[in-house]
Amino acid sequence: MKNQWLEKESKRWVEEEVIDSQQRKAILNLYPAKNNTSIFFTFAFMLFSLAVLTFLASNWTDIYPLIRTTLLLGFLIVFYYLGTRWIEDGKRLIGEVSYLIALLLFGFSIFLIGEMYHYHFNSIFAFLVWSFVALLLYLSYSSRWIWAAGVLIIVVGQMVNLFGLREFSWILFILFVLAYGLILYARNIRWMAIVYSIAFFIQILGLSAEKLSLVWVTFFLISLYFIGKLIGSTEVGKVLHSLAPVYMFLFVVFHVLFISGDFQFYEELNVVYFVVHIFLMSLIILYLYMKKEIFSIVQLVIFIPTFVIPEASDYVASVALFIFSVSHLMEGFKFKNQRHMNFGTATFLISTFVVYSKVAWGYLSQSLFFLVAGVILFVIGYLLNRQQKMYIEEGGERNDS
């Protein structure tokens, strides 16, 4: 489409004597037409690869171990070689797909070869090697999809290790934080930061639930928030310090609805957690105060461990939810920021529904419960929407991003 537009416009420029025909030809040569048929070859290659892998899987037991090993290593080398050649020829998409298939085959080879020769790999060791090879592959060719594949391998490895062996690999986590984190910082791409934060949240949830205690989720998330603030001028920093409170908000909602009555949860609290958490909170408050980010200080209420009072934890957490949402609304209204208004409205409605569910579920019939809840949320939503429109009409900047 862009090439057609350029051809049409450049022809008009020649007619208007803005440029001559030779200049038009030189300009068109700078933007050669792209060959969109490469995507068909990519999918054909993927289907061919799946056909080969499916055939091997269905006939795996009938193949001699030495032949199996040769086939695995052979296909691995072939896919890597093809990926390299295609990328050198400028066929980036199909080349990256070939690299990803080679990486997938490498991981399968670790487990399958170990099973064939009755060598039982420690599962986390296999994932550690796999993710390290993904890192090396990225360093040889810096594809964002190879980086994402490495992050996925780490998350899957941690979950298998946690829920299968009840162990958490700190080595794998350090590899994730340092190696993959530094790559993320260097690339500074928004969607990569979102993927990274989700992977971080999944890992710390698993670690806290299986090895430490769910209370440690607050520490890890506020650490992520602080890191995001420290590098706030980058796209990665903006994503991290924006999403960390969102994850914490969801965790507090989960706490109010499902954990508040579980007193075994509170027995796991320890002094180390409080010392570390209070120190980190104090450091962040001091940092935000020096930057005069008053609303950000108020919004830290979502990171306060509201479960310190077991008998009233759900009420304290509910108050934290409302303070957090109202502070976002006030920040949006003050700075005429539509994005903060929308986020504050959404969190306020969720907070209202959570508190209402906690209070009214056991006292009203289900039909009446949903009817009253709908009326309450509709009224609140109407009032907030009207307030937003008033601020926008007064000169507020519409920022829906």
Taking 3-state DSSP, the helix, strand and coil percentages for the chain, each rounded to the nearest 5, stand at 85, 0, 15
The pLDDT value given to residue 401: 37
Cβ-defined contacts of 40-48 (< 8 Å, 24+)? 41/91, 41/94, 42/93, 42/94, 42/97, 45/94, 45/97, 45/98, 46/97, 46/101
The residues that bridge with 397 in the sheet, in sequence order, are 337
Question: Average pLDDT for residues 106-116, to the nearest whole number?
Answer: 80
> What pTM does this model have?
0.80
Contact 280, 226 (CB under 8 A): yes
Rounded-to-integer distance, Cα 372 and Cα 359, Å: 13
C-alpha dist (Å) from residue 29 to 33, 55, 59, 324? 9, 46, 52, 55
Span 48-76, pLDDT tens digits: 777 777 776 677 677 777 877 787 888 88
Higher per-residue pLDDT: 180 or 116: 180
Q: Is the dihedral of CA 277, 288, 341, 320 positive or negative?
A: positive
Q: Per-domain residue ranges for the chain?
A: 35-121
Q: Give the pLDDT of residue 189.
A: 93
pLDDT at 97: 86
Q: How confident is the model at residue 399 (pLDDT cuts 50, 70, 90)?
A: very low
DSSP string, 113-160: HHHHTT----HHHHHHHHHHHHHHHHHHS--HHHHHHHHHHHHHHHHH
Collapsed DSSP state (helix, strand, coil) of residue 169: coil
Average pLDDT estimate for 355-381: 64
Mean predicted lDDT score pLDDT of the chain: 80
pLDDT at 178: 95
Question: CA–CA separation, 147 vs 186, rounded Å?
Answer: 12
Count the Cβ atoms, other than its own, within 10 Å of residue 248: 25
Please check whether residue 216 is in contact with residue 273, taking contact to mean a CB–CB distance below 8 angstroms: yes
Q: In this model, does residue 43 exceed pLDDT 60?
A: yes
Contact 157, 124 (CB under 8 A): yes
CA atoms in the 13 A half-sphere facing the CB of 1: 0
Distance, CA of 143 to chain centre: 17
pLDDT value of position 400: 41
From 123-137, 235-249, 300-314, the region with the lowest mean pLDDT: 300-314
**159 phi and psi angles, rounded to 5 deg:** -70, -40
